[in-house]
Every structure is written in structure tokens, then in C-alpha cells.
Structure 1
Amino acid sequence: MTTAKPARARSVDLTGRSAIDDKRQLSEKVAMYVRERIMIGEFHADDFLRTERLAEQLGVSATPVREALMLLHSEGSVRWEPRRGYRIVPLTQQDVSDLFEVQAHIAGELAARAAEVLDENEIARLEDIQTKLEQAAKDGQAALVDEYNHEIHRTINKASNSTRMRSLLSLTVQYVPLNYFGTIEGWAQASAHDHSAIFTALRGRDPETARAVMSDHIRHIGELLTEHLRKEGNLS
């Protein structure tokens, strides 16, 4: 039996941005931290998570950690074993595939709705951001690529005027280690390349194409993450 040894805490919000002072419950932040560490392989399958040790590493009390572990148990990320504690459930390729398939569906629908309402000025602004993203990708500036990519997707999703659907997308995004995408081979290039078809569809007021190319983009990202996790030995 082994016990996971958490790395230094780094809170992240639903979009991967710093969230040390956001309004979400502390237990939700802890749960997100654990999900991310499971996904990137810092917490290994079948290891046990110890409440007191995790609380100490994160600088929080044991209560939000217990609440987080109960939440993770309910969603299947960890499994409670009487008299032993919470054991990490192995992550499978199907788990990752399913996650991105759901994201692809929702993001595609948001893009389709955005295609009907985004004005020319906003599309021009997105294309300007895309130019900066492509330059950052060429320069190997992963953090800037992530920042520009986030702004592009945030703008498209917000333009859809679909608050409930955006919330559903956020629920799925919290399972993805966005802070680590910059380390994944091909990710920056995918963000630079795949967006051009999305902008063409937006400028052409073509909802069906916008839905299709956005969905393809999200699936592509999921494939890159799956391959990365496989190479790192993080998939069962």
C-alpha cells in the first residue's frame, strides 16, 4: 500500500487560471487540485490519499479535504475503503475520451450559436489575438499561447448567450489539467492551426460548420492529451 505525496499546492479555477481568492468553496478547490494531480500522474492509481497529509500540504484544515474526498468519491475519481481510506481509481483512455467527447459536443453547440451573433469587430479582435497566439507558438511561449487560447474560447462561449450550457462546459473543464497543456507535445501547434477553420465559419455566419470544426478541435486536443498520458504511463 502506498500513500500519495502531494506536491506544493497551486489552486486553479475552472478555466485553469489562478483562483486563490475566488468565491468557490474551498472543498471544490481541493477537489480540483486532486483531480489535476491524478490526471497528470502526480497521484498514482491505487495510492491512498491521507486527509491530514493533504490538508498540511495545501495549508487548509481537514474539513474541506474530507468534503473534497467525498465529492471525488461520488464522481468516481477515488474509492472509499473502510478502515483504509480513499484510494485513487485508475484513469483509463475511455475516461479521457468520454470527457472530451462531452466537451466537444457542448463547445461545438456554443460555437454554432456564437456564429449567428458575433459582430465583425469582435471577430477581427479574435483574429488579432490568433495572430499573437501563432507568434507565441513559434517562439515557444507556452504560457502566452494558453492565455490567448483561453481568451479566444472564452469570447466565443460568452457570445453564445447560453449561460446554462457554458456552466455545463465549465463542469467538464474542471477535470482537465489546463495548467499543464503547455507541456503537451503538439498542443500549441494545434491551438495555432485549428482555430483558422473556426474563424472562417464565424465570419461566414455558418453555424453548422462552426459546430463541426469546434468539435473537431476539442477532440484533437483530447487526442493529444491521451497520447501524452499514455507516454507518461498515466493511463490504465
Structure 2
Amino acid sequence: MNGLGELGKGRKSIGVPNYQRVALAIRQAVVNGELDDGQRITTMELAEQYGLSLAPIREALLQLAAEGLIAIHPKRGAVVRAVTPEFLFDIYEVRLGLIPYLEGERAALATERDISRMVQAEKLYEQAVAEGNIEEIIEYNSVFHQAAKSIRVNFEADQILGRHHLLTQALRRRYGFSDLRKPRAIEEHNRLIDAYRRGSKTDARDVSRSHLQNAFEDLLSIMQTHQTPSKEPERISSSIGYREEQ
């Protein structure tokens, strides 16, 4: 099948289930534009290409369907959905509706140990930025935010947000970051740490909202230099997802 590369190999692939490796390969192929919008892919073709049984292939396709990257049609296989600026807008609108609220609640509950984990992750992130290593920038950005997510506030909200976590990483592998985005993200991360230290719900929400808005605009800008959207997505409203202090 054209457009699909080999399954991931190397140290980071050790112990990774086959269905996740297949999902990663297909996800990146969709993001990279190697699979066309509306292109049909079948379990039999994928199983043959990757030398796997049908079970992990089906599981990978179900995961990608949950992310919105494919649509599964009974007896017809799966159909690819391209990642457009409009799709990105929808993802970040949901994220902006949930994450600032969660960050505020976590800031109020954070312990010194939680904050220490965030600080350690941020140091690794800043080192990756200084070295210009895109894979480590993506990885340690995730580690930083996972340190905060370890403070459980709303399991269902985390499940919803988790749907597109790997997709946003794939988009950054494809499009990277602007030169301005990386130092700005460092500043925002440190402002979030400070809000956690002070236990400030309001400041954590405000920083998180700004962080998401800036990340969206950066990624959208880069995407639009590579493709022409059918319409210009409107700016995400800064009021989405805001909840008044109780």
C-alpha cells in the first residue's frame, strides 16, 4: 500500500504493542500527507504489509477512528480523513474548553512533589530546546504536562483530551515549531509552575489558556504555509472553557 512506511524500530519501540506501532505509522502517514483524504485502507492490506495478524490491525484502526483520523465502514474497510486546519481548530477548541479548568483545579491541589516533577521535566525540555532536538522537545513537553496530569481532577475529561494527544505530537513532528514558539513555551511553562507554587487557580487557568492559544496559532500558521484551507478558521475565543471561581 502506497504511503505507509515501516513500523517503528529501535529502543523506544521495545515493549510497544503491535497495534500501537501500526497506529503510529498510519497516523504519521496521514499527517505527512502520504495517505490522501478519502483513501481507502483495508485490514487485509495492512496485515500483509506489516506481516501481522488481523487482530492488532483492527485495534490500531479503532484507535485511529477514535482520534477522528479515519472512518470505518463495515465490509468496506477504513477511509482516511485528512488533518486540515479546520480539524485542528476543532481539536484546540475542545482543549481550550477543558484544560484551563483542569489546570486551575490541579494548581490548588499540587504538592511539593508534584511541582518538583514539573520543574525537573521543564529543565529537560529547556535542554532539548537548546540542543534543537525535535523528538526530545516533543517528548519532554509531554513529560512536563504529564507531571501536572498526574494530579487527578476529572478522569472523563482526561480521557477526552487523551484522544488527540498522539495526533498533536505527530503534527509537531511533521510541522515543527516556529523560532518564536519554543522560547515562548518555556516562559509559559515557568509561569504555570509559579501559579502551581502559589496554588492560584485563576493564574493557572489564565496561563494555560494563553499557552493553548499560542500553541494553536503557531501550529496553524505553519500548517497554512503547507496547505490551503477551504476556509480561514476563526481565532479561538479566549472565553471558551472558562469557569468562574466558586
Question: Taking structure 1 as the reference length, what is the TM-score of the superposition?
Answer: 0.75
Output the CA distance in 2 between the equivalents of 1:121 and 1:217: 23
- CA-CA distance at 1:182 after TM superposition: 8.1
Output the CA distance in 1 between the equivalents of 2:113 and 2:59: 45
**Percent identity of the aligned residues?**
23
Q: Per the alignment, in what secondary structure is the counterpart of residue 79 of structure 2?
A: strand
Counterpart of 1:153, as a letter, is H
The correspondence for 2:6, drawn from 8, 17, 42, is: 8
Which of 166-175 and 94-103 deviates more? 166-175
CA contact (8 A) 2:61 2:78 kept: yes
Q: Match of 2:149?
A: 157
Match runs of 1:1-236 below 5 Å: 4-10=2-8, 18=12, 21=15, 30-31=22-23, 33-66=25-58, 68-69=60-61, 77-79=69-71, 86-178=78-170, 180-181=172-173, 184-186=176-178, 188-233=182-227
- CA-CA distance at 1:210 after TM superposition: 0.7
CA contact (8 A) 1:76 1:89 kept: yes
Question: Taking structure 2 as the reference length, what is the TM-score of the superposition?
Answer: 0.72
User: What are the superposed Cα offsets for residues 105-144 of structure 1, whole Å, 9 maximum, x if unpaired?
Assistant: 3322221111112123542442343234223312212333
Bigger relative CO (Cα 8 Å, ≥ 6 apart): 1
Distance 1:63 1:213, change over 3 A: same
User: What are the superposed Cα offsets for residues 81-124 of structure 1, whole Å, 9 maximum, x if unpaired?
Assistant: 89975432343322111112212333222211111121235424
Distance 1:20 1:216, change over 3 A: farther
Q: Match of 2:240?
A: none
Output the CA distance in 2 between the equivalents of 1:223 and 1:176: 13
Structure 2 unaligned blocks of 5 or more: 231-246
Output the CA distance in 2 between the equivalents of 1:82 and 1:125: 45
Q: Flag as ranges the 4+ runs of structure 1 deviating above 4 A.
A: 17-20, 26-29, 66-76, 79-85
Output the CA distance in 1 between the equivalents of 2:62 and 2:123: 44
Output the CA distance in 2 between the equivalents of 1:90 and 1:183: 15
- CA-CA distance at 1:73 after TM superposition: 5.8
Counterpart of 2:32, as a letter, is I
Structure 1 unaligned blocks of 5 or more: 12-16
Q: Per the alignment, in what secondary structure is the counterpart of residue 3 of structure 2?
A: coil
**How many residues are aligned here?**
227
Counterpart of 2:119, as a letter, is E
CA contact (8 A) 1:91 1:234 kept: no
CA contact (8 A) 2:175 2:219 kept: no
